[in-house]
Structure 1
Amino acid sequence: MSQSRSRRRPFPTDRLRRRDLLRVLGAAPVLPLAGCGGSTESSVAPPTEGGGVWDDAAFRHGVASGDPEQERVILWTRVSNVSGSVPVRWEVALDEAFESVVRSDADPGPSVFRTHTDAGRDYTVKVDAAGLLPGTTYFYRFTVGATRSPVGRTRTAGSGAIDRLRLALVSCSNYSAGYFHAYRVIARQDLDAVVHVGDYLYEGGGEGEIGRPHDPPYEIVTLDDYRRRHAQYRTDPDLQAMTAAHPLIPVWDDHESTNNAWIDGAQNHQPDREGDWEERKLASAIAYDEWLPIRLPDPMNPLRIWRRIAFGDLVELFMLDTRLQRNAPETDTSITGSEANDPSRSMLGIEQRDWLMNGLLNSRDAGMRWRVLGQQTMMAPHRNNPDPSMLPLPYLPPAVVESLGLRQGGGNEGSDNWGAYVFERDTLIRHLRENAISNNIVLTGDVHTGWACDIVEDPYTPFNPITSGVTGAPGYSALTGAGSVAVEFTGMSVTSNNLIDTPGGAALGALWGAAVRGVNPNARYHNPAAHGFVLVDIDRDGASGSFWNVGTVLEPLADGDDGAIDATFRVAHAEAGARFANHLRRV
């Protein structure tokens, strides 16, 4: 049952106090991110080659880069087998042999810095390497004492008029549920960045089916728990390969904290056994900031992760938090009534919603070709479990139904996605339509299954060209896409369970996918039986999403096996003045 409206309040992110951080950290110092504000010059001298207390230093968790901008990028690593305050060298070069070093901790000038790490940030290192060239590939590495990290490759965002952007969309990577094959295949792609829209890790315990039990072996709650879980995930060789090859642009969903979280609680948080929700939420956010190459808009507020990144004049990427900013929990079993349409229910929170709507207008006015929203749960209206009276469907065991977020015999959307916040979704859709903001792409995860959809308020009411075309009233033409304001690519899971993990799952998935498409005119594609990622390829004339299936994740991936593309869907760039531009077609 939903909680009282009187308890719903926006989280005071602008008043997040330093003492709250210190309390969760156990009074450990909060070290500023080098290059992201505040004094960053280390009082510790840079290390000399060899010797010292860092003789056994190691880089067991690899390297990563993230949040590329036109002249800077975040560089990340973690140092093991050390203690105390550890100075860390870093270098950025144009070549893998580091014969052409362009930036390092040794450079003079006020904009360059030395950094160090200690137990206060779990010996993780984040460098905001600035002064780089736009649209350029670089190599980077770290050094502690005589020990060097693996070499990573990254790329800055382009500037000015650029012709192409290639992204990989991933989500839902449960370490105990399977091997991270999608990450291995992504590492070998030609990409500008990887967009991770959440469930980068899972909070539960359990053994799983492949002998990769979670560490710690219980549900994580404290800061130390979250750090241990992040550390375990970062030992995966496929994850290390992907982040060493491409910059990562991440946002969390719920499992980075706990299942079906919202601003004031979570379905999977029990205060009587697991303590204060605010402390647990903050602990999960601090560990996320430490272990992910994310650039916080406010370095002193790890709960503020919504931000935007421009790739020349081609794409403006808005990374959203539709999880820990939502001011109301999931609904009860009926979301088609008044609760889903309650204007007080918000996925984004007022501050983020205003930021997004203003940003979309500014992006249009600045002449950006495309707008891309990276976010967590499905935005397009969809009937996840078609009404049996409309199409005959096979019986699914309750455990499978629950794992897929389905409603047996229903016809409703899930209770934890945008369908439970219909008023705000319709407000956003009207904002796009009434302000003629076209060329909009939404990138989504969460549901473990692949979807390609047009986004419109109501895809089920037959389209009326007189009322809908003029007033924007609900209505949709599946043939022409009239009424749609955006397209959505929802990626399959990296490992989290779907029908492919059940006996006969591939055949059942084909039947189920056809049935779902049959009752959802706006769903151009639905595959509930695949693991993998979506390759998003954007150019000046259009954008496509290719659903890359890597097969089972319960067995190791054979050498040379990169899976295969199941389907590709493309949306064309709108001609000047075109009213309806956002419509997917299979290619």
Structure 2
Amino acid sequence: MFGRRQLLTGAAALAASRFIAAAQAAPANRAPRLTHDPFALGVASGEPASDGFVLWTRAVGLTEDVRLGYEIASNENFRTIIRSGRIDAPVGRGGAAHLEVRGLPSGRPYFYRFHFGDAVSRVGRAATVAVNPERLRLALTSCQHWEHGWFSAYRDMVEQDVDAVLQVGDYIYEKSFGSGPNVRAFGTPDPLTLDDYRARHALYRTDPDLAAAHAAMPFIVALDDHEVENDYAGVHGGVTVDPAAFLRRRTAAWQAYFEHMPLRPSAWRSGGSLQLFRRFRWGKLATVHMLDTRQYRSVQACSDEKRGGHVVWDCDAVVDPGATMLGARQEAWLDDGLARERGIWSLVAQQTLFSRLVLPQGPDARWSDMWDGYEAARHRALGSLGRPTVRNAVVLGGDVHSFWLNNVIADFDDPRSKIVASEVVTSCLASRNGPAALFDGARSRNSHVRYHDNAHAGYALLDIVPERIDVDLRAIASLIDPAARCFSLERRSIEAGRPGFA
């Protein structure tokens, strides 16, 4: 494990190169001579299913295509190896390997490792989903800024024995921002090219707590804006003005994201797009519908003079029926999935605050980069959440750097309208908190907001059983102390058949 002092001084380019193989890859039938660890960026698992999962690593520092060896065992000491073989790690994908494993018995833990020449990766743990589990423990997380704080909350997730991590966006940050103490620095300018974004992701993977979390738990991921640039919307840049330059930047960022995430190989599509909306089932207990609210969304309402998210007033575009957060195909996919729902709990994981948020600037003021800027799209999503097949809907989100527990109601203009779903929004895992100018006094203006905290970072822990979901908002005691621990900031429960929070 690399020391904190090394991480503090490790700039992105250095992090991407200091652990590489000094001697380049030999053909597959000859063992290469290695002087550094090609697996320094670790291992990861994701896409959990009843018969398998996806395993990931990235062999750094190679200049030609290679094949990595892998082993999957039923015990940590690898005395009983049940699968082994080789997988391609193409240079065109930065040496990334995405191994999709299928055909394993359900409900069991497995251990895996990769090797290349004499180098062997750390051991990772993965697990198949039980056919009909009685309980499920999920961690909901987003927004981890390298400079703003240590990623110590991941240690708490490992200690809490989480079954899966839902990472709903802003896995990396492309820029520095905000005043306050920084614990480390990016050391390079904002990324623009594929190599730039690869280096930024590689830097993140040198964080020991993040690396350990990936090795210990499956991650179910979807990106938001900072994986590319702040507040972009579909094909519209939030910062980059030139459309062609933005699309080049977006394609580079998306490819680097794919190369560093435990996604199915099929997630990367020809033409440079990502397939990120998908479902995960834990038997009859719960279904996670993971959404992508960035790739297909319309440009933010009333953004002609000001790009990206901002407060808008008297803006008719916020109710434009043609505006979308999900795109027509994803909207239909979500509606069809909820119409066919089999789980007791329907968890809709997406990137930002879903509920209406009346702002201090006035009852008509809206923040255009949240669902408030896409009123018709939210109304359509509410219709899908209200399907008779959906017994218990819970919307999960992040992005806003603060904790929220909300009652999702059928008509936000009528506070007495029916509660359709519960909403849990996690704070940032490591970043500055949300803007006080928008969030202070939120509960007094929004009766459906049942809990709000804009002073802590951390994550949300969800314990799911057929009768209820226990929500534990886990706050980190300090972002600048690497030894800081998490504590329970707030505990609430959602009872089956009774949506919302008291």
**TM-score category of the 2 structures, normalised to the smaller one:** 0.7 to 0.9
**One-letter code of the match for 1:359?**
G
**One-letter code of the match for 2:264?**
R
Count of aligned pairs between the two proteins? 466
> How far apart, CA to CA, are the structure 2 residues paired with 1:519 and 1:81?
54
Shift of 1:334: 2.3
Which residue pairs with 2:466 in the alignment?
A: 540
Alignment counterpart, residue 83 of structure 2, candidates 82, 100, 103: 103
> How far apart, CA to CA, are the structure 2 residues paired with 1:225 and 1:335?
38
Which residue pairs with 2:338 in the alignment?
A: 360
Q: CA 1:303–1:58 in 2, change beyond 3 Å: closer, same or farther? A: closer
> How far apart, CA to CA, are the structure 1 residues paired with 2:144 and 2:415?
38
Q: Deviations over 1:251-307 (max 9, x none)?
A: 0000001111111212212228xx522222121111111111122655434422111
> How does 1:59-74 map onto structure 2 within 5 Å?
59-74=39-54
Shift of 1:437: 2.3
Q: CA 1:534–1:413 in 2, change beyond 3 Å: closer, same or farther? A: farther
Shift of 1:459: 4.1
* SS of structure 2 residue aligned to 1:429: helix
Q: Deviations over 1:123-179 (max 9, x none)?
A: 1221112222212111111111111111111122221x3211110000000101111
Tell me if 1:125 matches 2:105.
Answer: no
Alignment counterpart, residue 564 of structure 1, candidates 468, 487, 494: 487
Alignment counterpart, residue 142 of structure 1, candidates 91, 102, 114: 114
**One-letter code of the match for 2:390?**
I
> How far apart, CA to CA, are the structure 1 residues paired with 2:196 and 2:332?
35
Q: Deviations over 1:331-360 (max 9, x none)?
A: 454256421111010000001101110111
> How does 1:2-21 map onto structure 2 within 5 Å?
none
Contact kept in structure 1, 2:50 and 2:106, CA below 8 Å: yes
Shift of 1:525: 0.7
**One-letter code of the match for 1:566?**
L
> How far apart, CA to CA, are the structure 2 residues paired with 1:271 and 1:516?
37
Contact kept in structure 2, 1:260 and 1:330, CA below 8 Å: no
Which residue pairs with 1:186 in the alignment?
A: 157
Which residue pairs with 2:13 in the alignment?
A: none
Which residue pairs with 1:290 in the alignment?
A: 259
Tell me if 1:375 matches 2:381.
Answer: no
Q: CA 1:213–1:222 in 2, change beyond 3 Å: closer, same or farther? A: same
Contact kept in structure 2, 1:165 and 1:537, CA below 8 Å: yes
Contact kept in structure 1, 2:67 and 2:88, CA below 8 Å: yes
**One-letter code of the match for 1:277?**
F
Contact kept in structure 1, 2:278 and 2:289, CA below 8 Å: yes
> How far apart, CA to CA, are the structure 2 residues paired with 1:297 and 1:125?
12
Q: CA 1:546–1:206 in 2, change beyond 3 Å: closer, same or farther? A: closer
Which residue pairs with 1:320 in the alignment?
A: 291
**One-letter code of the match for 2:251?**
L
Same amino acid, percent of matched pairs: 33
* SS of structure 2 residue aligned to 1:258: coil
Alignment counterpart, residue 519 of structure 1, candidates 445, 454, 458: 445
> Of the two, which has the highest radius of gyration?
1
Structure 2 residues not aligned, in runs of 5+: 1-25, 304-310
Which residue pairs with 1:493 in the alignment?
A: 428
> How far apart, CA to CA, are the structure 2 residues paired with 1:371 and 1:140?
31
Shift of 1:184: 2.1
Q: Deviations over 1:38-84 (max 9, x none)?
A: xxxxxx98566xx5344644311111111111111111112234442
> How does 1:416-565 map onto structure 2 within 5 Å?
416-433=369-386, 435=388, 437-459=390-412, 461-463=414-416, 475=417, 483-498=418-433, 515-558=441-484, 562-565=485-488
Structure 1 residues not aligned, in runs of 5+: 1-43, 106-113, 387-407, 464-474, 476-482, 503-507, 575-580
Which residue pairs with 1:397 in the alignment?
A: none
> How far apart, CA to CA, are the structure 1 residues paired with 2:29 and 2:36?
14
Contact kept in structure 2, 1:75 and 1:128, CA below 8 Å: yes
More strand by share: 2
Shift of 1:329: 2.6
> How far apart, CA to CA, are the structure 2 residues paired with 1:158 and 1:276?
46
> How far apart, CA to CA, are the structure 1 residues paired with 2:103 and 2:66?
25
**One-letter code of the match for 1:342?**
D
Alignment counterpart, residue 172 of structure 1, candidates 113, 123, 143: 143
Contact kept in structure 2, 1:55 and 1:145, CA below 8 Å: no
**One-letter code of the match for 1:300?**
R
Deviating more after overlay: 283-292 vs 549-558: 549-558
**One-letter code of the match for 1:380?**
S
**One-letter code of the match for 2:257?**
Y
Which residue pairs with 1:25 in the alignment?
A: none
> How far apart, CA to CA, are the structure 2 residues paired with 1:550 and 1:146?
39
Contact kept in structure 1, 2:340 and 2:389, CA below 8 Å: no
* SS of structure 2 residue aligned to 1:52: coil
Deviating more after overlay: 429-438 vs 63-72: 429-438
**One-letter code of the match for 1:567?**
E
* SS of structure 2 residue aligned to 1:378: coil
Tell me if 1:334 matches 2:312.
Answer: yes
* SS of structure 2 residue aligned to 1:262: coil
Deviating above 6 A after TM superposition, structure 1's stretches of 4 or more consecutive aligned residues are none
Deviating more after overlay: 130-139 vs 195-204: 130-139
Which residue pairs with 1:236 in the alignment?
A: 207
Contact kept in structure 1, 2:300 and 2:368, CA below 8 Å: no
* SS of structure 2 residue aligned to 1:233: helix
Q: CA 1:118–1:303 in 2, change beyond 3 Å: closer, same or farther? A: closer
Q: CA RMSD in A?
A: 2.4
> How far apart, CA to CA, are the structure 2 residues paired with 1:228 and 1:309?
30
* SS of structure 2 residue aligned to 1:567: strand
Which residue pairs with 1:343 in the alignment?
A: 321
Contact kept in structure 1, 2:312 and 2:366, CA below 8 Å: no
Shift of 1:373: 1.0
Contact kept in structure 2, 1:201 and 1:230, CA below 8 Å: yes
* SS of structure 2 residue aligned to 1:171: strand
> How far apart, CA to CA, are the structure 2 residues paired with 1:186 and 1:242?
8
**One-letter code of the match for 1:584?**
F
> How far apart, CA to CA, are the structure 2 residues paired with 1:493 and 1:134?
33
Q: CA 1:331–1:545 in 2, change beyond 3 Å: closer, same or farther? A: farther
Deviating more after overlay: 532-541 vs 548-557: 548-557
Tell me if 1:156 matches 2:131.
Answer: no
* SS of structure 2 residue aligned to 1:91: strand
Contact kept in structure 2, 1:262 and 1:329, CA below 8 Å: yes
Which residue pairs with 1:223 in the alignment?
A: 194
